[in-house]
Each structure stands twice: as structure tokens, then as C-alpha cells.
């Protein structure tokens, strides 16, 4: 979602490694600290269908081995799905999350601070890159992903106390 005020919504998934490690509060706080507002949330244990719907182009992009490893990882425990809202929320969330491969993610980003796995290590061991979070890549992707994860009435509109400072 985006409108002429620049306010967008983005989908964040706290992946099974983040939930299993007890990092939910600390990771959600990163987004809230930046004044992104939670407008929807649910915990889900993904199945094969939801994995395919969410990562619909992953197999095409990376091949069947990476897809299989990701599917196993994403279904290894519950994930927390959160929709955040804010001005240019999509790009803002990507900035907070950091580069895909934690060894390349900058300190101060979620992936850079809480993991260090490289793509080479994951490929060598046939495992997924456990990088804690998914964040929508662009505004169109965000709209699609939010519709995969949430019904319209599960997204709550309200005014936050910090609205005068940017949502």
C-alpha cells in the first residue's frame, strides 16, 4: 500500500530462527524505535502451500535445492507475521533489516547484529540462510504479500501517540 502522503505498509516475517531464539521483542522494537507502527500481527506455523505462496518465485530464482532448504527452514517452527505502516515503510524496513546474507549485513542492522551466516556456508551445507527476518522488497511486493498473509479486516487503522513525529 502507498498513497499520496507516502505512507506505506510492509510485511515483515520474524522467521523461525528469530522466534526460537527469543528475539521477537528485540526485533519488533527495532521497527517501533524507528516509528514504524504495527497495524497487524499473527503467529503462524507455515505449511507447504503458504511457503509456496509467499516464496512464489524463489525456486525460479535460486533453484530447487535452495527452495527445498528454505521450505524446510520456514516450516521448522512458527513465524510471526507483522504489518508495519509508516512513511516509505518498505524501504525503511529493508534498511533496518540489512543485506540478505548476514556476513555482509552492516552492524546496526538486524541481520548484521544477530547472525553471521554466509551464502557459501549455506550452499555448502544445503541449508537455508537463517537471517531472522523477511521484509517486502518493494511497494508492489508488499501489497501482494500482505494480501497473502492477512485479510483486509485483520489490518487495524488507529492513530499512534507518535503520529505527529511520523506515524
Which residues are near ligand ADP by CB under 6 A?
Answer: 58, 62, 66, 69-70, 100, 119, 122-123, 128-129, 131, 134, 137
Distances (CA, A) of 13 to 3, 18, 24, 163: 23, 9, 10, 24
To ligand ADP, the closest distance from the beta carbon of 25 in angstroms equals 21
Q: Give the separation between CA 137 and CA 129, rounded to whole angstroms.
A: 17
Residue 70's alpha-carbon distances to 15, 57, 79, 112, 126, in angstroms, are 11, 12, 13, 20, 10
Smaller CB separation from ligand ADP, 89 or 167: 89
Beta-sheet strands, E only, within 63-120: 79-87
Q: Which residue is nearest to ligand ADP (CB)?
A: 100
Closer residue to ligand ADP (CB): 68 or 156? 68
The percent helix, strand, coil of the chain (3-state, each to 5) is: 45, 15, 35
* Closer Cβ to ligand ADP, 131 or 167, answer by number: 131
- Catalytic one among 116, 125, 134, 144? 134
Question: How wide is the angle at C-alpha 68 spanned by C-alphas 55 and 49, nearest 5°?
Answer: 50
Query: Given the complex with ligand ADP, which of 36 and 122 has the nearer CB atom?
Result: 122
| Residue 125 is among the residues annotated as catalytic for this protein | no
For residue 122, give the nearest of 97, 104, 98, 96 by alpha carbon: 104
Residues annotated catalytic, as ranges:
134
Amino acid at each position: 500500500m502507498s498513497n499520496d502522503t507516502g505512507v506505506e505498509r510492509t510485511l515483515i516475517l520474524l522467521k523461525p530462527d528469530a522466534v526460537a531464539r527469543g528475539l521477537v521483542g528485540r526485533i519488533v522494537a527495532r521497527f517501533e524505535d524507528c516509528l514504524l507502527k504495527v497495524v497487524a500481527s499473527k503467529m503462524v506455523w507455515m505449511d507447504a502451500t503458504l511457503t509456496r505462496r509467499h516464496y512464489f518465485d524463489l525456486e525460479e530464482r535460486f533453484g530447487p535445492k535452495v527452495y527445498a532448504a528454505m521450505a524446510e527452514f520456514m516450516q521448522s517452527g512458527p513465524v510471526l507475521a507483522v504489518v508495519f505502516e509508516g512513511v516509505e515503510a518498505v524501504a525503511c524496513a529493508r534498511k533496518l533489516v540489512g543485506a540478505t546474507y548476514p556476513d555482509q549485513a552492516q552492524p546496526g542492522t538486524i541481520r548484521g547484529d544477530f547472525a553471521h551466516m554466509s551464502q557459501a556456508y549455506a550452499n555448502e551445507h544445503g541449508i537455508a540462510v537463517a537471517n531472522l527476518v523477511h521484509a517486502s522488497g518493494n511497494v508492489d511486493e508488499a501489497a501482494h504479500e500482505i494480501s497473502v498473509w492477512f485479510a483486509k479486516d485483520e489490518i487495524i487503522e488507529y492513530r499512534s501517540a507518535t503520529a505527529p513525529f511520523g506515524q
